[in-house]
Amino acid sequence: MITLGIDIGSLTAKAVLYDGKQVMEKHLIPVGYNSKKAGVKLMEELLQKAGVDQTDIGKIVSTGYGRNSIDFAHKAVTEIICHGKGIHHQMPHIRTIIDIGGQDSKVIVLDKRGNVANFIMNDKCAAGTGRFLDVMARAMETEIHEFGLLSLQSENPSKISSVCTVFAESEIISLVAKGENREDITSGIHLSIARRIASMVKRLGMIPPVAMSGGVALNVGLVDALQKILDTKIETTPFSQYSGALGAALLAQEL
Amino acid sequence: MAGRLKATKKMKSIMKWYYIEAKYARYLGKKIAWITSGGPVEPLIAMNIIPIYPENHGAMIGASKKGGKMSEFAEGLGYSSDVCSYAKNDITSSITKESPIKGGLPKPDMLICSNNICGTVLKWYEIQARKFGVPLFIYDTPFVHTEFTEEAREYVNEQTKDYIRFLEKHTGKKFDYKKMKKVGKLSLEAMRLWKNVLETAEHKPSPMTAFDAFFHLALIVTLRGKKVVVKYYKQLLKELEVRNRNNVGAVDNEKYRLLWDNLPIWFRMRWLSEKFASHGAALVADTYTQAWCGVIDYVDENDFLSTMGEAYTRIHLNVGVDQMADTIKKFIKQYDVDGLVMHSNRSCKPYSFGQYDIQNLLQDEDIPVLMIEADMTDERKFSDSQAEARIDAFMEVIKQRKKEK
C-alpha cells in the first residue's frame, strides 16, 4: 500500500510517500500563513513529482503543529511519535532523539523496541528553538545554511549569557560593537542554544546512541556544539528534515 | 454520560450565602478576617468571625478569565510580572473593586497570614494591612525539611496562644474554649469526609475527576469547622457512592487514569477537562485538593488547639521534596494511575520549584510525566497550541505503553 505522511511544522511543510518497502518521493515547501492550503499544495506537488495519482494513496497521516488542519488525513499524530518512528526506521540502534523545530525543541527517549518511552519539550519560550537560530543568523547577516560552517571556524567562542531570544539579539549587537569577530560570536550563539538543549537532555536522562532529527540537524555548527557539551557522538541522516513525515507515512501503513 | 453532580447546585448556594453574609457582616454584628488558604481558620469560627479568603477570590477571578487583565493592572503599579497572580489580583481588586462578586471582597477587620503555603503572603498581607489600616497576625510555620522537631512544636504552639490573645484583643471578647472544642471536632470530621470524597476516585471508573475536586474544594478551604460543610460533604459522598455502585464514571469510557500536581489552571478548566476526556483519560486525583486532608493524622480530635500547630506546619507545601515525592508515589499506587501531569505554575513557586527533582525521585515508578507550563489565573502565560501538542503526545505515549503491557 502507498501511504503519505505530511508534517506541517511552524516554518516548513514536509511530505513523504512510502510504498510499503521504501520511500518513493519527498517534498518540502514553506508553510506560509495558511497551513491548510500549504498541505494541499504540498500533496499536489509531491504527487506530480512522484507521478502518482491521489487515488493510489491508501492512507494518509498528518503530524506537526498543523496536523489537525489537514482534513484529508485519516489520522493526526503528534510529532513526538512520528519522529520516534521515523528515526527508528532509519537508525534502529538510536535511543535518544533531539529534535529542534521552528517553535519548540524536544528530546525523545526510545525503548529498545523503538517505542517512545518518555519525552520532554522546551518551556514556553523561543530560546533553544529553530526560531532562535533564524533570528540570530539574521542579526549576523548570514544565510542560515552558512551559519553552522561559520561557527566551526571559531577558535575563541564569545560568551552569550542571555537565554532570551530578544535579549541575546541585543547582546550580540553589543559584541559586534566591541569588535568581536563573526566566527566567534556565531560559535557563542551555537554553544548557548546547545547548552539549553543539553540541560533538557540531562533532565530526561540521556541514553546513547543519540541522534538529531529535524531541519536543524543540517546545521553542522550546532551538532558540533552539542557533541562537545553532551560529550557524546550525535548521529544525523541527510533525510533528517523528513523524519517526522516519514514516521507519519510509516504509521499510515499500520492503519 | 454521568452529567453534573447534583450537589453542585447546593454548593453554589452555600457559597453565595457565605459571601452575602460577609457583605452584611456589620449588620449581623460580626467581624471579618481575611486569611491565607493554609491559615488556621478554626479559632476564627469559634469566635464567630467570618473568614474571607483572597485566594478563593483569586480562583474566582481566574475562572472568570480576568486574571491576566487584573495582573497587568498590578504590574502597572510596579509589581513584578513574576509576583503571584493571586496576590496581584487581590491588590488590583481591592483598588478597582473589579470582582466576580459585586463590589469585591468585604473590607477586613483583621488579617491572618500563615506562611505555610509560601513567603509571598507575608508581603502581600503586610501591604493590605497598611492599605486597610487593620491589625495583622502572622502565624509563622518553620519549614519541615525532614522532620518536625520538638523546638518547632513549642514554637508554633506558642503562636497559637498569641493568636488567641490577638483575637481576644481585637474582638474585645474572651476566647470561647468550649465552642473551640466543637469547631475542632467539626473541622476534623469535614477533613475526614473530604478524604472519603476524594477516595471514591479509587473506583474504576472514577465517579469524579480532579476538575470536580477543584470545584467542591471551596467549602473545606473556606468554612471547615462549620456544620454546613459536614452536611454538604455527606451529601456529595452519598452521590459519588451511588455512582460507584452503578459503575458510572465521570469520563465516558475511562481508559486511562492520571494524577495532577499543583493548582488548577482556573481559566482553562473546561478546555483541559474536555481535552483529556477526548483521549478517554480521567484525572482521578491531584496533590492540591488532597492537601486539605493530608494532615488528619496529626490532629487530636479532643485537643485540636494544641495539635493544630503541627498539622498546619506539616502541610504539603511546607515539607521537603522527598516528602512531596513520597506523597505522589503513594497516590500513584492508591489511585492506580498511568501518568502524572505536572502544572508548572508561574505564580506558585513553592509548588513548582521542586517539580524536576520530584520527577527524578519518581524514576523507579516508571511512569510518564507531562509538564504543562502555565499559571493558575494569568492567561497570558498559557499557550493553547503548545499545551495541546504536549497533551496529545503524552496521551499517545500512554496509549502505546498500555497496549504493550
Q: Where are the alpha helices (DSSP H) in B78-119?
A: 85-96
Residues of A in Cβ contact (< 8 Å) with B400: 81, 115-116
Burial call B238-275: b when 16+ CB within 10 Å, e when fewer: ebbeebbeeeebbbeebbbbbbbbbbbbbbbbeebbeb
Count of domains observed in chain A: 2
Closest CA to B343 of B302, B311, B381: B381
| Sheet with A210-213, edge to edge strand ranges | A116-121, A105-110, A96-100, A210-213, A234-235
Residue A150: which CATH number?
3.30.420.40
For chain B, what is the mean pLDDT?
95
Mutation target among B357, B386, B399, B402 for the A interface, most CBs of A within 10 A:
B386
User: Which H or E run contains B18?
Assistant: helix B7-23
pLDDT of residue A168: 82
Query: What phi and psi values does residue A226 have, to the nearest 5 degrees?
Result: -65, -40
Residues A153, A226, single domain; the answer is: yes
Cβ–Cβ under 8 Å, residues B112 and B287 = no
Q: Residue B400 is nearest to which of A79, A115, A121, comparing CB atoms?
A: A115
Residues A187, A137, single domain; the answer is: yes
Residues A117, A221, single domain; the answer is: yes
CB contact under 8 A, B389 and A121: yes
A6 touches chain B (CB under 8 A): no
Question: How many angstroms separate the CA atoms of A76 and A69, rounded?
Answer: 9
CB contact under 8 A, A116 and B396: yes
Residue B92 amino acid letter: T
A112 touches chain B (CB under 8 A): no
Question: How many angstroms separate the CA atoms of B190 and B183, rounded?
Answer: 10
User: Which H or E run contains B35?
Assistant: strand B32-35
Q: Which three cell numbers stand for residue A126?
A: 523561543
Is residue A49 packed enough to be buried (19+ CB in 10 Å), middle (13-18) or exposed (0-12)?
middle
Strands (E) in B56-186, as ranges, are 110-114, 136-139
| Sheet with B369-374, edge to edge strand ranges | B281-286, B256-261, B339-345, B369-374
Q: Which three cell numbers stand for residue B218?
A: 471551596
Distances (CA, A) of A43 to A4, A56, B119: 9, 13, 56
Question: How many angstroms separate the CA atoms of B244 and B206, rounded?
Answer: 8
Residues A67, A158, single domain; the answer is: no
Residues A173, A118, single domain; the answer is: yes
Question: Three-state DSSP class for A211?
Answer: strand
Residues A186, A68, single domain; the answer is: no
Residues of A in Cβ contact (< 8 Å) with B381: 124
Q: Which residue has the higher pLDDT, B261 or A167?
A: B261
Local confidence band at B1 (pLDDT 50, 70, 90 cut-offs): low
Residues A191, A231, single domain; the answer is: yes
> What is the mean pLDDT of the segment spanning B144-163?
96
Question: How many angstroms separate the CA atoms of A85 and A75, rounded?
Answer: 15
Residues A28, A141, single domain; the answer is: no
- Among residues 171-200 of chain B, which lie with CB inside 8 Å of chain A? none
Residues A210, A148, single domain; the answer is: yes
Residues A131, A77, single domain; the answer is: no
Residues A59, A116, single domain; the answer is: no
Q: What is the pLDDT of residues B309-337, one digit of tens each?
A: 999 999 999 999 999 999 999 999 999 99
State the greatest distance between any 2 C-alpha atoms of chain A, in Å, as a whole number. 61
Those residues with Cβ within 8 angstroms of residue B106's Cβ, 6 or more apart along the chain or in another chain: B22, B23, B25, B32, B50, B52
* Domain encompassing residue A21: 1-91+241-255
Residues A111, A60, single domain; the answer is: no
Query: What phi and psi values does residue B43 have, to the nearest 5 degrees?
Result: -60, -30
Chain centroid, CA B144 distance in Å = 19
- Quote the ipTM score: 0.76
Domains along chain B? 13-175 (3.40.50.11890)
Q: What is the pLDDT of residues A196-235, one digit of tens each?
A: 899 889 888 899 999 999 888 888 999 999 999 999 999 9
User: Which H or E run contains B352?
Assistant: helix B349-352
Q: What is the pLDDT of residues A73-120, one digit of tens each?
A: 999 999 999 999 999 999 999 999 999 887 788 999 999 888 898 898
Those residues with Cβ within 8 angstroms of residue A146's Cβ, 6 or more apart along the chain or in another chain: none
Residues of A in Cβ contact (< 8 Å) with B397: 80-81, 116-119
Residues of B in Cβ contact (< 8 Å) with A115: 400-401, 404
Instruction: For helices B67-77 and B85-96, give the axis angle rounded to 10 degrees.
Output: 80
Residue B242 amino acid letter: V
